[in-house]
Amino acid sequence: MIRYTIPTSAHVKIVVYDVFRREVARIVDEPRGTGTHETRFRTPPVASGRYIVSLEVGSVRATRLLITAR
């Protein structure tokens, strides 16, 4: 589960990359309203391992490490 809060309505993009920075999944790519949001990243399409999650809200970007296991 990926949970995030945005202070104002904005275009949100959440992308998962492998360790070689190849895009694995684009989870969200749409406008979202103010508040807290949750989205699921389902692991079956990817192998167990380490991934990078990039969250972009307007011009602000945050990245986090995601470790998946089956």
The CATH number covering residue 41 comes to 2.60.40.3080
pLDDT at 20 over 70: yes
| 53 beta partners | 16, 64
| Signed CA dihedral, 44, 46, 50, 53: sign only | negative
Q: Strand, coil or helix: what is 64?
A: strand
Tell which residue, 70, 9, 12, has the closest CA to residue 38: 12
Say how many domains are in the chain.
1
pLDDT at 43 over 80: no
Q: Please name which of 46, 27, 45 lies closest in space to residue 37, comparing C-alpha atoms.
A: 27
pLDDT band at residue 45, thresholds of 50, 70 and 90?
Answer: low
Q: What is the DSSP string of 15-40?
A: EEE-TT--EEEEEEEEEE-SEEEEE-
**Mean pLDDT computed over every residue of the chain:** 89
Domain with 42 in it: 2-68
